[in-house]
């Protein structure tokens, strides 16, 4: 998904430029997890996308209040939580709405899940780097692009089944690597 970032301030002030750079660095590093958090609280993709866009702008507007010593994602999720609550309060168009109690429970659980997901993603990134260049390219083409395995098979001259078997082997290898890394950190995979 493509995210619309807040526009750069027009002021020539160096501190304003640095503030914008700090915001972009924090936002870019966490926007996928923030969007996933919002989506976990709203049952419809379109609603989650709308709230995410509003939240992105609000985060920029409130960035002056952000304490640089805090974790940006935790702060952003707090802002997003109230945006979701506001959205649910004003959106009476759906018959099925989450109660505020359920929303509070979901938000609490998702907040705990975010740090675990971050650890899993970090471990996965390190494990992918351990793959050979050919394996990394295959993983990228199969999972990181719109290319189908059938298209890959035709392009490489190999059978689709051969590629599926290779991908299954790579997934097992990655799963074992991630489990070992998380075990070393003391987390369950």
Question: Within this chain, do residues 90 and 118 fall inside the same structural domain, yes or no?
Answer: no
* Number of Cβ atoms within 10 Å of the Cβ of 58: 17
Residue 104 lies in a domain: no
Domain boundary (72, 98, 124) is at: 98
Total domain count for the chain?
2
Provide the residue count of the chain: 189
Question: Within this chain, do residues 87 and 19 fall inside the same structural domain, yes or no?
Answer: yes
CA distance 186 to 166: 30
Instruction: Tell me which residue range forms the domain holding 152.
Output: 114-189
Q: What CATH number has the domain bearing residue 52?
A: 1.10.1740.10
Question: Within this chain, do residues 120 and 185 fall inside the same structural domain, yes or no?
Answer: yes
CA distance 188 to 186: 7
Residue 145 lies in a domain: yes
pTM across the whole model: 0.49
pLDDT value for 139: 87
Residue 164 lies in a domain: yes
* Number of Cβ atoms within 10 Å of the Cβ of 35: 20
Domain boundary (98, 130, 162) is at: 98
Give tens-digit pLDDT for 133-167.
999 998 888 887 778 888 889 998 999 999 999 99
């Amino acid at each position: 998904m493509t995210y619309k970032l807040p526009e750069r301030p027009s002021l020539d002030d160096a501190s304003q430029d640095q503030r914008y750079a700090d915001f972009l660095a924090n936002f870019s590093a966490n926007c996928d997890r923030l969007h996933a958090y919002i989506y976990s609280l709203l049952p419809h993709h379109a609603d989650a996308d709308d709230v995410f866009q509003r939240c992105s702008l609000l985060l920029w507007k409130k960035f002056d209040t952000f304490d640089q010593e805090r974790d940006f994602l935790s702060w952003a999720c707090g802002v997003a939580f109230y945006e979701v609550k506001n959205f649910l309060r004003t959106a009476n168009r759906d018959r099925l709405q989450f109660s505020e109690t359920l929303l509070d429970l979901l938000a609490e659980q998702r907040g705990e899940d975010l740090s675990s997901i971050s650890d899993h993603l970090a471990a996965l990134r390190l494990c992918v780097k351990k793959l050979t260049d050919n394996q990394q390219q295959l993983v990228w083409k199969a999972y990181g692009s719109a290319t189908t395995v059938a298209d890959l098979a035709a392009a490489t001259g190999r059978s689709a089944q051969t590629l599926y078997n290779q991908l299954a082997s790579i997934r097992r290898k990655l799963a074992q690597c991630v489990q070992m890394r998380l075990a070393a950190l003391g987390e369950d995979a």
